[in-house]
A = this chain, B = another copy of it.
Amino acid sequence: MIDKTCQWERLDRYFADGQTVMIGGFGVPGTPFLLIDALLNSGASGLTLVKNEANEDHMGISKLIETGRARKLITSHLGLNATVIGMMNRGEIEVAFYPQGILAEKIRAGGAGLIGILTDIGIDTILKTEKQIIEVHGRPAIVEPALRGDISLIHAAVADTMGNLIYEKSARNFNPLMATAASRVIAEAERVVPAGELDPDHIHTPAAFVDHVVPIPRLTEEYGVLAHHVV
Interface residues of A, Cβ cutoff 8 Å to B: 105, 109, 112, 114-120, 132, 134, 136-137, 139, 141, 143, 145, 166-169, 172, 200-202
Complex CA–CA separation, A134 to B142 (angstroms): 12
Complex CA–CA separation, A41 to B168 (angstroms): 43
- Chain B, residue nearest A135 (CB): B132
Please determine whether A136 and B141 come into contact, CB atoms closer than 8 angstroms: no
Please determine whether B141 and A116 come into contact, CB atoms closer than 8 angstroms: yes
Complex CA–CA separation, A168 to B199 (angstroms): 11
Within 8 Å CB of A119, what residues of B? 114-115
Give 10 nearest A-B pairs by CB, closest first: A115-B118, A115-B141, A116-B118, A115-B136, A202-B202, A114-B117, A134-B134, A114-B119, A117-B117, A136-B145
Complex CA–CA separation, A105 to B115 (angstroms): 12
CB distance from A95 to the nearest CB of B (A): 21
Can you report 23 A-B residue pairs in the complex whose CB atoms are below 8 A from each other? A105-B112, A105-B114, A114-B118, A114-B119, A115-B118, A115-B120, A115-B136, A115-B139, A115-B141, A116-B118, A116-B136, A116-B141, A117-B117, A118-B118, A134-B134, A134-B143, A136-B145, A137-B145, A167-B201, A169-B201, A172-B201, A201-B202, A202-B202
Please determine whether A143 and B118 come into contact, CB atoms closer than 8 angstroms: yes
Please determine whether A116 and B115 come into contact, CB atoms closer than 8 angstroms: no
Please determine whether B136 and A132 come into contact, CB atoms closer than 8 angstroms: yes
CB distance from A129 to the nearest CB of B (A): 18
Complex CA–CA separation, A220 to B166 (angstroms): 34
Within 8 Å CB of A112, what residues of B? 105
